[in-house]
Structure 1
């Protein structure tokens, strides 16, 4: 992974190279804290050890019974789905089993998906650390009923990824289901390079070793200086820019295969850093599509944004045919890849010319190694940002509040958070 901070140095808001040099002392101290946390496998920091602690052989063994299914449906939410979805969508080949994600409880979406699948040729992957996640367990019960109704033995088509205890662990033991453990000390949004994120990639036949090798390479570049680590450079610059008013971070990959990556990044950044009135709001965009929908705001709207432009430097290409259409002849003889690169560089220059900070992030290719680098790099950047900001990066108290409120409304216990729902103020216009 390569990070270019040049277009964030003389912008509004912006961060100078000299201020980054001063910040580097704090980066060195934060790195010591991170390394100590990793060494002791403390909660959260253990996620940065996954390139060395994840066991790809165990993952492949767990999914081996499900040889060549037509589809795999992951039932999970948030970090239990987004990492796997990022990998499967980025690496998908036409011959791969189709990957679907039930990460919401929208009844129409669930019903529509189940009606289109041959459930006898579908593998179901149920993911929940606690085994009690209401959305996940509800969707799984619906899927299991659909399989029963279709005459499919769900126990032959299901595996679970869960903690050592809980409903799903009990279910796996009762029905002798294949299962994978959720690693200790790894919050869901940091679990893409673990059993949680890698199982679907294994079913699709992707190279788990290369994914972890890419992550390991990025791990080995972490150091006490942001000028020696792309991950730390990105995390430190994002933190510094947020302190100067860039409170929105628009993640804009220039590869459709990375569109889901922007969704994964949004959870990572928002849930980890949005604490104590601090944080940087992630926005999702796609180049070049959103040059025609969002760039107007980024370039000419409020000066409160950092735009992160991500691209692979190598990709398959396709030529643009020659044409005699007036005004378009210049396109003939070039390629779609060349056009996309021109769009990338034009957007970058457009933002810089308007004084809007933007950072370039590059990987060699959207392949297993490149994705390992990118995902690990962003996780390490997030952890560093959290250390610099002094927030509790690995907790999510606001999310837990909402979970308790919903559970109380459904009769799952007596939770005072549920009482707040009845206190809602209304101003209805019909």
Structure 2
């Protein structure tokens, strides 16, 4: 039987807290340092590997983490989730984003339908539509092919799909699967929509409106902006727009759209990249086969998260080490550092995934938690970040755990040799150097040049960033966040923290304000 308890009530957490701390500098520079790097590694899906040698763990700490996973019933709770129990207690909903890329356990029925069959049907409908667009069966009013797809959405309807598109854009061009350029409109700031519309040929563009409820203020505002642009160009907006929404929303059967593809309440926005939310834009941009390969990588990684052996379950171990860093070592933030320009927006997606999921101060039953929960997430691609915020990471007063992502080969497969090494070799040399520099430091009598080291990091390493590798990478972090939410006993699948601002904004727009809200509204000339 699964039980839900606060972290600090678990005996294994007390044991973990009392376990002797690891001197990372000694561990990495000692006689077993090289063997440690080789041994502290777990295979992931799609040829990836999770290496945690530069984390502040040893066999004693790992043993304590295994016991914590067992007492917290992480495996059983994951099974409850994918078998259709109501894990989202705040909204009293199932959590089914894993099902968009495969069936992990029992068949799940909700709303009178087989949910796996429902998600497969939407994927197949999207694939059929995308193929018709690509082969010219679906065209603009002049019978000309669409060349650009524009996604209109915000939050999870934008951050994930945008990050995935950018991650695969160069790969698709190199591998001759690039079908259409994709653009994204998200911010209600009119400059965002205007910038996108000024950069495209609207007559040859198809727009994907993403709103589960069909009532999202920012998204509907931007839709109106787009419709005005189409009207001003003498175009029929209904011939240029599709919707991704719920079957019960006002968009579902509207004549304003060429087609509607469906999602449901069991997939949160930040977990929706493998649903129709990501499926429509990615299938149009790269072709349904590429999206299917992306799903395959995610599904394979999900299966690894079923492993009851913590030391062979990369997402679970990554999660537990993160809990150790947050709740025992006291580190308040984590930096995501992909050494791949294609992953330029991946840290932004992980900001939402992690901070919206586990940024909670009450447990899943509404009771208080008196220990830290989700960390602050930030990051930028290397090597750019090295010339930006790495100064604080190396010598600042806070220790910030780091999660590197690196690939042995570039996506484009071509390179130049300068000073006896290629650009890709220089990139990889930098990430290897940073890991060791952070962990081991460098003593110097000049204190301004002294590096204490002891700054922990992990790295996910792959051959190249392919659709399968991207899917596996995404699923790893989704499952990591989920496991951490289980340990902290919070509901990782609602986001009440985003609601209050929306309510107050509506009051401002209705001029129903007083006090400080009215003064700030007046200052902004609303």
The TM-score with structure 2 as length reference comes to 0.73
The answer as to 2:81 corresponding to 1:45 is no
Take 1:120 and 1:225, find their aligned partners in 2: how far apart are those partners?
Answer: 55
Question: Structure 1, residues 8-55: CA drift from partner, whole Å, max 9, x if none?
Answer: 12xxxxx44422322223324022012112101644631222211342
Counterpart pick for 1:31 among 75, 96, 108? 75
Q: Paired residue for 1:254, among 339, 347, 365?
A: 339
Indicate yes or no: 2:320 matched with 1:236: yes
Which residue of 2 is the match for residue 4 of structure 1?
51
Partner of 1:275: 360
Which runs of 5 or more residues in structure 1 are unaligned?
A: 10-14, 322-330
Alignment of 1:145-224 (within 5 A): 145-169=228-252, 172-175=253-256, 177-206=258-287, 207-222=290-305, 223-224=307-308
Provide the secondary structure at the position in 1 that maps to 2:208: strand
Matching of residues 3-402 of structure 1 within 5 Å: 3-9=50-56, 15-28=57-70, 29-40=73-84, 42=86, 43=93, 45-52=95-102, 53=116, 54-55=119-120, 56-67=123-134, 69-92=146-169, 93-94=172-173, 95-169=178-252, 172-175=253-256, 177-206=258-287, 207-222=290-305, 223-243=307-327, 244-276=329-361, 278-315=373-410, 316-321=412-417, 331-353=418-440, 354-402=453-501
In 1: Cα distance, 2:59 partner to 2:491 partner: 28
When normalised by structure 1's length, the TM-score is 0.89
Deviations 1:207-244 (A, max 9, x none): 12211111111111112232111111211111211112
| Structure 2: runs of 5+ lacking an equivalent | 1-43, 87-92, 103-115, 135-144, 362-371, 441-452
Measure, in 2, the Cα distance between the counterparts of 1:124 and 1:426: 35
- 1:397-416 equivalences under 5 Å are 397-411=496-510
Aligned to 1:421: 517
C-alpha contact (below 8 Å) 1:44/1:394 kept by paired residues: no
Q: How much does 1:389 deviate?
A: 1.1
- Asked if the contact 1:84/1:199 (under 8 Å) is kept, the reply is no
Q: Which has the higher contact order (CA 8 A, sep 6+)?
A: 1
User: Judging changes above 3 Å, is the alpha-carbon distance between structure 1 residues 423 and 108 closer, same or farther for their aligned structure 2 residues?
Assistant: closer
Change (3 A) 1:185 1:368: same
1:327-355 deviation line (CA, Å, top 9, x unaligned): xxxx4232111111100101111111111
Q: In the superposition, relative to structure 1, how do residues 420 and 393 fare at CA in structure 2: closer, same or farther (>3 Å)? A: farther
Q: Shift in Å at residue 175 of structure 1?
A: 3.7
SS at match of 1:129: coil
Partners of 1:419 and 1:391 in 2: how far apart? Answer: 34
1-side partners of 2:130 and 2:389: how far apart?
Answer: 41
Structure with greater Cα Rg: 2
Q: 1:162 to 1:271 in 2, by over 3 A?
A: same
DSSP-derived class of the 1:6 partner: coil
Question: CA 1:211–1:341 in 2, change beyond 3 Å: closer, same or farther?
Answer: same
C-alpha separation in 1, matches of 2:430 and 2:422: 12
**Structure-2 separation of matches of 1:205 and 1:425:** 44
How far is 1:425 from its partner?
12
Deviation at 1:423, TM superposition (A): 7.5
2: CA distance, partners of 1:184 / 1:263: 23
User: 1:272 & 1:249 partners in 2: Cα distance?
Assistant: 15
Say if 1:319 and 1:24 are closer, same or farther in 2 by CA, change over 3 A: same
CA contact 1:130–1:163 (8 Å) conserved in 2: yes
Alpha-carbon offset, residue 120 of structure 1: 0.9
